[in-house]
Structure 1
Amino acid sequence: MWKPDRKNDQPLYQQIADDLERRISYGEFPPGSLLPSERKLAEQLGVNRSTVILAYAELRAIGIIESRTGSGTRVSKFKWGATPKHTPNWHRYVEGGSFLPNVPFLRRIREALQQDKTLIDFASGELASDLAPAQEINRLMEESSRTEYFGYDNPQGFVPLREALVSFLGKYRGIQTSASSILITSGSQQSLYLITQCLLAPGDAVAIEDPSYCYSLPMFQSAGLRLFRLPVDHKGVRPEDVRALYKKHRIKMVFLNPNFQNPTGRLLDPNRRSELLEVASELGLPIVEDDPFSLTAYDGVPPLPLKSDAPTSVLYIGSFSKIAASGLRVGWMVAPHSVVDRLSDARQQMDFGLSVVPQNLAAQFLMSPYIQPHLERLRMNLLYKRDLVIEALRNELRDLVSFTVPQGGLHLWCKIIPEVNDNKLLEEAIRNGVIFVPGSVYGSDSGFVRFTFARPKADEIVSGISKFAAALRSVLG
């Protein structure tokens, strides 16, 4: 974000006024659009509120903006006194689209992280740079042969990557498949988006875990789906709940993250796993299995996916993001040929397929001798960070939070024992220099917190939990 230059001879308020005038002229703030409040803009720019008041006064004086009590400050529809032109009402378009925006908490978290790079980040669900195989990937980039073709690739995905995944999934996940049954995507979210748009229709009923990462994805509501909850307890979802939802609502699909579930970190009990697959088979009910965390099992023995035992009734989703590098934007789906063909066709309409460059890198990494040592190092470092979070919570908040210790994954799911307001706690934590995801984002009641310990550096974790503890005590009074 632009900020005024304090070394410039031009007054700060004039710099702010000039920047706003420029952004208005570029159409970033169309006529009639609401500008940030004086207090909020002052916080964003790191200046006194009086400086913003002067800047707004300057713009009002030349007719660019107008302020009304109770309505805030808006860009004038009569800019510079000229006759207004017929400008599109962009607010109406923005509010009228069928694809819903992110939930407010996630937008607030993104905004806070963009504004303050010093926040200790327990919110972002990705690996920190010290956990990613950056050196290995850079070495592969230096060693790789030149790419001769940069045109559109197969919309199903780069063939060498799909072939590498056949070997990788067979060795590490117990999934026997072929390259023609694999679709390359930009990650788990694109896989879910293609499924909701191409295999389901508005009004269809689907079952998702409660709490669930899926609750944080407006794409389900945007697709017009009816969502029904499958409560997650200490053993995962209950198969009898799937049967009950099918009888009552005729659900058409079940979305599960059975191994180190996001956000709870729970592992589906083996007996429930077998019963769940029997119920799905009996009802002819497809399961969408999102499996991003299994290879992070701290004991080095990853639990097998549902797909390994039910190859024909499970759509399997995987991703590079949680085990290697989110920036490569490489994920995959293993599905029947007819499903892969349908989704590939949709992908071609969207973007003609992913860039061949990251797909080539991912293929080389999967086939390299680096993958196994990297996974072992990743597990060791995640376990170390998990233990730091747990020890800090026990030292700081022993009587105020409860949690189950996860055996894999990136997240620790906490229940705050006293009643607390999620919004107040998040804002107080941000003021204290730490950020997390409130549990209500995932469909839970107020008073739950997800700490992602893969993102902060190890030497930030104890300090981050201390800042959170101070915020919680402040909110509790």
Structure 2
Amino acid sequence: MRVERLTGSTAAEIVDAVRAAIADGALAPGETLPTMRAAAEHLGVNRNTVAAAYAQLAAIGAVESHGRRGTVAAAAAELPGEGRASREGAVNLADGNPDPLLLPPLPPLAADAQPVLYGAPPVHPRLEAIARAQVRGSLPESHRITVAGGAVDAIERLLSSALVRGEAVAVEDPGFLSHAGILRLHGLRPIGVSMDAEGPRPESLREALRAGARAVILTPRAQNPTGSSISADRAEQLRAELAQHPDVLVVEDDHYAGLAEAPYARSTPPGARRWALVRSVSKSLGPDLRVAMVHCDDETGALLDARGGHAVWVSHLLQRAVAAVLEAPGTQELLRAAREAYAERARMLTDALAVHGIAAAPHQDGVNVWVPLDGDEDAVVTALAASGWTVRRGVDFVTGGGTGGGAGGVTGAGGGAAVRVTISTMTVERAERFAAALAEALAAR
């Protein structure tokens, strides 16, 4: 942006000038604003006035500060997620979806359902009873339950209810796409917590908390993208670190609860003032049943219900459908079969890769396998695409803003390069063909 475009003698007037330049296209996303010194000299104002204006613009998400590279106009926030498309004819191993053939059947919507009106409780009693039974013995007996439109909606509401723009959140690195997207959408600062086969590393979490993290997002099981689950010993270590910061919001995203082989090990310490356990049914019952149960302390639950508002509650028809599926006589058997099928399909791929000397990260749960690479992942992904395979680049899951601990035994030796492969529809023949294609792509670099 040319300094001549700036006008104003107060911080508010400078903010208006920059926002007008963004609105009419004179200041494009990624374009650098004048330095504070240059702006102050041009406008004839104190440098602190310009600094205050730039701070206000950053607070509303209009600009981003890139340190020595200056302040730039922010691009429209995007919330990355699963479901990546694949070109026609390619095998899509990038979408992160469950296998539709392994999802339990949906019941017909009951015609005798009573109308739900404004002011009704947000959680259907049948679903709340099921949710309480599922966590009995794992959480405090007295806690609040509310419902959200999926895990991403729940976590977004949790963070926006507890934090303000510019505050820091500790997130796994590599981590779930949508976690990073939520932070960007709300102007929150990520601090990466490095991973190993047992989950987030305690020393890395300690550094993130010391660096000022006001919230922490942890994945107890089937961490996306690595598949790792937090062991009982690791959960105890994480509780010890978090116990030193009782005012930090602890969010556990147990998205794979309905299918996980590993037991749930709680990382939230007993003395945490603000906490939430989020359990979605998207992987176990299907992404279109966009319901997540949120177990939390009373204060957090009250804030979530207030922010959601009963005018935009999660449909009770949808909640009834979820409850009906979970109560159906054959559902648990179907979920057990799906759990075993996904585990077997992951083994198909890791065994096929091992034949070619390619070591995947230790797989524990989930519909993805994380494959560390020693080298240029872009070249590998491009070569795989040319041979008819679509996978996700490891860099897509890099959180950034890390505390310097790396990602331990999870990422590859080549600076964290990796690919994520969805195995939900894997077969022996497909695994063998993909492993051969990956070996060829690695050899051709």
TM over 0.5: yes
Flag the structure with higher helix content: 1
Deviation track 1:387-443 (CA, whole Å, cap 9, x = no partner) reads 111122123x31xx32233122222111113x1242x33333233222111111111
Which of 285, 302, 321 matches 1:341?
Answer: 302
2 CA distance for matches of 1:236 and 1:373? 28
Select which of 329, 354, 364 maps to 1:394. 354
**How far apart in 1 are the matches of 2:129 and 2:249?**
25
Shift of 1:229: 1.6
What residue in structure 2 maps to residue 364 of structure 1? Answer: 324
Residues 222 and 102 from structure 1, CA distance in 2 versus in 1: closer, same or farther, beyond 3 angstroms?
A: closer
* Cα gap change, 1:311 to 1:405, in 2 (>3 Å): same
* Residue number in structure 1 paired with 2:94: 123
| Alignment check: 8 A CA contact 1:421 1:446 kept | no
Match of 2:36? Answer: none
* Equivalent residue in structure 1 for 2:424, among 429, 445, 454: 454
**Secondary structure of the corresponding residue to residue 218 of structure 1:** helix
Q: Specify the code of the residue in structure 1 equivalent to 2:421.
A: F
- Which position in structure 2 is the counterpart of 1:169? 135
Pick one of 134, 159, 166 that aligns with 1:203.
166
**2:226 pairs with 1:264:** yes
Tell me how far apart the structure 2 counterparts of residues 437 and 371 of structure 1 sit (CA, whole Å).
31
Native 8 Å contact 1:161 1:359 kept in 2: yes
Give secondary structure in 2 for the equivalent of 1:288. Answer: strand
Residue 408 (str. 1) matches residue 374 (str. 2): no
Cα deviation, residue 241, structure 1: 3.0
Q: 1:392 to 1:153 in 2, by over 3 A?
A: farther
1:150-170 Cα deviation digits (max 9, x unpaired):
656847333332222112332
TM-score with structure 1 length normalisation? 0.67
Decide whether aligned partners of structure 1 residues 391 and 457 sit closer, same or farther in structure 2, where only a CA change above 3 A counts. Answer: closer
Task: Name the CA distance, whole Å, in 2 between partners of 1:223 and 1:120.
Answer: 35
**Contiguous gaps of at least 5 residues in structure 2:** 1-24, 26-61, 63-71, 399-410
Kindly provide the CA deviation profile for residues 219-253 of structure 1, in whole angstroms up to 9, marking residues without a partner as x.
20221212112111233223233333333x22211
Tell me which of 434, 458, 463 is aligned to 2:433.
463
Q: Is the 8 A contact 1:156 1:340 kept in 2?
A: no
Q: How does 1:43-442 map to 2 (within 5 A)?
A: 100-102=77-79, 110=84, 112-113=85-86, 115-116=87-88, 118-134=89-105, 137=106, 140-141=107-108, 144=110, 146-149=112-115, 154=120, 156-170=122-136, 174-177=138-141, 181-214=144-177, 217-247=180-210, 249-284=211-246, 285-298=248-261, 302-306=263-267, 313-348=274-309, 352-395=312-355, 397-398=356-357, 401-417=358-374, 419-422=375-378, 424-442=379-397
Q: TM-score, normalised by structure 2?
A: 0.71
| Partner Cα distance (1:447, 1:164) in 2 | 41
Distance, in Å, in 1 between the alignment partners of 2:93 and 2:152 is 20
Please name the residue that 1:23 is paired with. Answer: none
- In 1: Cα distance, 2:164 partner to 2:328 partner: 41
Query: Any conservation in 2 of the 1:259–1:305 contact (CA below 8 Å)?
Result: no
1:244 maps to a residue whose letter is E
SS in 2 for 1:449: strand
Cα gap change, 1:275/1:447 in structure 2, threshold over 3 Å: closer, same or farther? closer
Instruction: Describe the shift of the 1:177–1:154 C-alpha distance in structure 2 as closer, same or farther (beyond 3 A).
Output: farther
Q: CA deviation at 1:328?
A: 1.0
Contact between 2:277 and 2:296, CA under 8 Å: does it hold in 1?
yes
Q: Distance in 1 between matches of 2:232 and 2:130?
A: 29
Q: Runs of 5+ in structure 1 lacking a partner?
A: 1-31, 33-91
Q: Aligned pair in 2 of structure 1 residues 272, 421: CA closer, same or farther (>3 Å)? A: closer
Letter in 2 for 1:141: P
Call closer, same or farther: CA 1:96–1:162 in 2, change over 3 Å.
farther
Aligned pair in 2 of structure 1 residues 311, 204: CA closer, same or farther (>3 Å)? closer
* Shift in CA distance, 96/366, structure 1 to aligned 2, threshold 3 Å: farther
The letter of the residue matching 2:78 is: P
Instruction: Report if aligned partners of 1:168, 1:366 keep a CA contact under 8 Å in 2.
Output: no
The CA deviation string for residues 355-402 of structure 1, in whole angstroms up to 9 with x for no partner, is 22221111112233233212211121112211111122123x31xx32
How far does residue 200 in structure 1 lie from its aligned partner after superposition? 0.8
Question: Structure 1 residues 472 and 281, CA, compared in 2 at 3 Å: closer, same or farther?
Answer: same
The separation in 2 between residues aligned to 1:388 and 1:468, in whole angstroms, is 15
Residues 460 and 342 of structure 1, relative CA distance in 2, 3 Å threshold: same
Which one has a bigger Cα radius of gyration? 1
**Conserved 8 A contact 1:277-1:310:** no
Contact 1:187/1:319 (8 A) holds in 2: yes
Letter in 1 for 2:90: L
Contact map agreement 2:342 2:424 (CA 8 A) in 1: yes
Q: Name the SS of the counterpart of 1:426 in structure 2.
A: helix
In structure 2, give the amino acid aligned to 1:412.
V
